[in-house]
Structure 1
Amino acid sequence: MESYKIFFEKLNLINKKYNLINSQKEDFNIFSILRNEYDEVNLHSKFIVELLKNKNYGKKFIEIFLEKLEIQVFNYENINVFSEYSKGINGRIDILLEFSKGKEKKAIIIENKIYAEDQIGQLNRYYYSMINKNYSNDELEIVYLTLDGSEPNEESIKGLTKEEKEKIIIISYKENIIEWIDVCIKEVAEVPIIRETLIQYKNLLKKITGKEERKLINEIEELVLSNNEYLKMIYKIDDVLREIKIDLQFKFWKKLEEKLNEIAVKRKMSLENKLEFPNFQYSIDLIKNYPKKKFFGLMYFIKEIENRGKLYLRIEVEDRVYYGFRIIDNNGKSNFNMIDDYLEKEFKELNFTRTNWWLGLKYISSFENLNEFIDFKYFNENLAILLNNDKKLEKLVKHISEDIEDTLDYLKLS
């Protein structure tokens, strides 16, 4: 035990040192001020597209980008860069690059996923929408961009052949985009307005991907490797941390259920806890298997809708926690919500996202920082400290329940 005590005291000293260093840094960031830091469409996709379209440096930024992706493109004459490229019923491609010279052409589809969930056959639909635009397989590239380089799930690639799946290039903000921005900064070193904007964007990416803590991690690594007893401890700590995360997530769901049950009684809604996948109620067993097992939470029956089925309020976790509304038809299916126009206008007004599984959904933010979401995949120290503090947890569930009640009032439900 004495060895553990000494080890943690040393860790604490290192942590305090970096807290002091970080407290003295200038944390002004125009992106954080003007946008949600995790807004993949209105911040990240748009900013990347504007860089690629820049009238003076866009071509160079594209060349660097292609080099980082190891994509070969012929000596093109024309390029079109699109953000939110609409393909009708096939959805919107986050970023699309089209190159051409005479009869030669190439298209790069970039699916940008910060936190939005994959939709059924999403990459398949985008791929074949370009095939229908007379691109051949050899003329198409698919790039899947996430914070940490995660692969698309089976829902997203459903319908693609093995050969087509192998075409997908997996990249991350944490490595590839930061490296790209680094090179772009050097390219515009003598253009202050672009250089400083790129530096701020890079700082934002380091923050949301956790890369800004690299020096702290390196120093802890040196400490651990300096003593084999410390090395043994680290292997045990990993198991301890996992158990802590399980307990804290269970505590969150339990406290949230208590609060929402009060609302349910008042609004004559009923908790559904025996529905099948994808409508599972949370449980300690599901949490223990998270993130391998996802899509569990709380489900409340609101009312029957004539000729449609049953309307539910659902709070759920994939990576982040979100809530929304779902119809389950009389055959038990719930994957048709995208084509149902029920409350469509109202959800657009609320800026809720509509998908096959949701009439509308919204990610849940922390009451302490509206730009920071409840994220059980990354489960950073801020979230752990919040959930471990009973008073703060009470404020969090109050913040969530009030937001849900405001939405129910706006939608005139129950």
Structure 2
Amino acid sequence: MDPLKSSSIANFFRLPSLLRDRYQSPPGFNLFSVLRGSTDEVRLHSRFIAELLDPKGSHNMGRRFLQHFLETLKIDDFDMQGECSVEKEWDNIDILIRNQANQAIIIENKIHAGDQEEQLARYYHTIKNARVTDESIHLIYLTLNGKEPTEQSLGNIPESFLHSEHYHLLSYADRMQKWLKTCQKEAVNHPALRENIGQYLELIQQLTHTGQNEHYMNELKQYLQQEIVAGNSPIALIDDIQQAKVKFHAELISQLARKIEDRVVDQTTAEIESSTSSQEDAESCINGGTFGVWFYPDKDDTRYCVGVEACGGSLYLGAYCLRDEHPALHQALASCLSAQCSELERSTKYMPKWKYHRDLIVLQESSDRVIRLLMDQEFTNQLSGDLADEIGNYIQVLRQHLAQYL
């Protein structure tokens, strides 16, 4: 690197670093990030939010949290007079709220995961097929910053619905925090509940970078202004550093993938699935896509593979096979792995059998903690070894037993 440019970067960061040390307290103990990865959409965020929304939830606050949620989104046509149900992962819908008036609220929760093909369209039509009219459906797309879903996810949802008051973009950075703060005030006389909501709110602020000290932010704004007036290019430099961070993070993920590949191939001589573990895939994973390391137990049969995938803040281990294209093989894989690997308890039309890996790291999370862990050779050797051993076991099981289920 040009020494002059290197010196410019170092000087640019010197004052912000001093300001951060002065004003920002380091993150404190947070039960949610300890028990689950901070970006785990399904097992942390959706479950906690659904519990708060549920009038029958363990918070014992009745329908007050749900009522505040509806008020936050300015939903005033959802009937709260009768009984309301809140379901998690109902037909793959993250959170589904229904009432006795045959109205439904669909919440699709996205932290880092990307959209699936026609995902929102599938959920919309699933509820429509339950004889719920457009006027009785609210579709909420919840993300960190309130971004739009992809056109592929929206599919053939009518434009009239998407331009109505029944389609909502909701962000953790803004209105979700307002709702949580309202719930926290409501729980003022319930210390344990108030503290849990407060800790979850702190986690959201970390994820959305919205919990900074006001004095710290004001000083940084003044610093940027001074740099621009002085003829420098701080914004361009920040953009360059962001891109460098993504590429560095992706390189560390790719290095982890190669460690997994080397160990599995050494143990089993299995062939690596051709599209696995590229640098571009790793960058896509950081930006909301998925990242997988997959192997063919039988190199002559590419209809199925075994491996690990990072998606939505979690690591998944198991077998991949498209049920719609290969129903008999999908069933055979499910039966074989159920009999021989009882820990693989879950199943989808894409993965005959799979499980969550225990939460050691959220690969997609571009935080100091994750980057440091991925740079730690002892940690990555342990993680890659654990994953490779499990994958290798599934490969050997399928080689020895799959034939009897076909």
Taking structure 1 as the reference length, the TM-score comes to 0.75
**Match 2:64 to one of 60, 63, 68:** 60
Corresponding position of 1:276: none
- 1:339·1:356 contact (CA, 8 Å) conserved in 2? no
Corresponding position of 1:263: 264
- 1:185·1:198 contact (CA, 8 Å) conserved in 2? yes
**Match 1:128 to one of 125, 129, 136:** 125
- 1:363·1:373 contact (CA, 8 Å) conserved in 2? no
For the residues of structure 2 that align with 1:177 and 1:205, how far apart are their CA atoms? 9
1:13 correspondence with 2:2: no
- 1:113·1:146 contact (CA, 8 Å) conserved in 2? yes
- Give 1:10 deviation, angstroms: 1.3
- 2:39·2:313 contact (CA, 8 Å) conserved in 1? no
Deviations 1:359-386 (A, max 9, x none): 3556677xxxx453111xx522333344
Q: Which has the higher strand share?
A: 1
- 2:317·2:391 contact (CA, 8 Å) conserved in 1? no
Unaligned runs of 5+ in 2: 400-406
- Give 1:50 deviation, angstroms: 3.1
**Match 2:294 to one of 296, 299, 305:** 299
- Give 1:264 deviation, angstroms: 0.5
Deviations 1:138-157 (A, max 9, x none): 11111122334344345543
Deviations 1:210-267 (A, max 9, x none): 3334645554333222332485134124214413431442354145325522430331
- 2:307·2:318 contact (CA, 8 Å) conserved in 1? yes
- Give 1:61 deviation, angstroms: 2.0
Report the aligned-residue RMSD: 4.0
Paired residues in the alignment total 385
For the residues of structure 2 that align with 1:160 and 1:379, how far apart are their CA atoms? 33
- 2:112·2:288 contact (CA, 8 Å) conserved in 1? no
Corresponding position of 1:374: 363
For the residues of structure 2 that align with 1:35 and 1:322, how far apart are their CA atoms? 12
What one-letter code is carried by the residue in structure 1 that aligns with 2:363?
Answer: I
Secondary structure in 1 matching 2:175: helix
**Match 2:87 to one of 76, 83, 86:** 83
- Give 1:4 deviation, angstroms: 4.6
The 1:317–1:92 alpha-carbon spacing in structure 2 relative to 1, beyond 3 Å, is closer
Corresponding position of 1:250: 251
What one-letter code is carried by the residue in structure 1 that aligns with 2:185?
Answer: K
Corresponding position of 1:45: 46
Deviations 1:122-161 (A, max 9, x none): 4333323332332211111111223343443455433433
Corresponding position of 2:224: 224
User: Which one scores higher on RCO, CA 8 angstroms, separation ≥ 6?
Assistant: 2
The 1:197–1:248 alpha-carbon spacing in structure 2 relative to 1, beyond 3 Å, is closer
The 1:168–1:53 alpha-carbon spacing in structure 2 relative to 1, beyond 3 Å, is same
Secondary structure in 1 matching 2:206: helix
1:202 correspondence with 2:191: no
- 2:338·2:353 contact (CA, 8 Å) conserved in 1? no
Q: Kindly, what percent of the aligned residue pairs are identical?
A: 25
For the residues of structure 2 that align with 1:28 and 1:230, how far apart are their CA atoms? 42
- 1:121·1:157 contact (CA, 8 Å) conserved in 2? yes
**Match 2:338 to one of 331, 342, 345:** 345
1:149 correspondence with 2:146: yes
Taking structure 2 as the reference length, the TM-score comes to 0.76
Secondary structure in 1 matching 2:174: helix
What one-letter code is carried by the residue in structure 2 that aligns with 1:177?
Answer: M
1:402 correspondence with 2:399: no
Unaligned runs of 5+ in 1: 274-279
- 1:314·1:326 contact (CA, 8 Å) conserved in 2? yes
- 1:143·1:168 contact (CA, 8 Å) conserved in 2? yes
The 1:198–1:139 alpha-carbon spacing in structure 2 relative to 1, beyond 3 Å, is same
**Match 1:163 to one of 160, 163, 175:** 160
For the residues of structure 2 that align with 1:141 and 1:339, how far apart are their CA atoms? 39
What one-letter code is carried by the residue in structure 2 that aligns with 1:163?
Answer: S
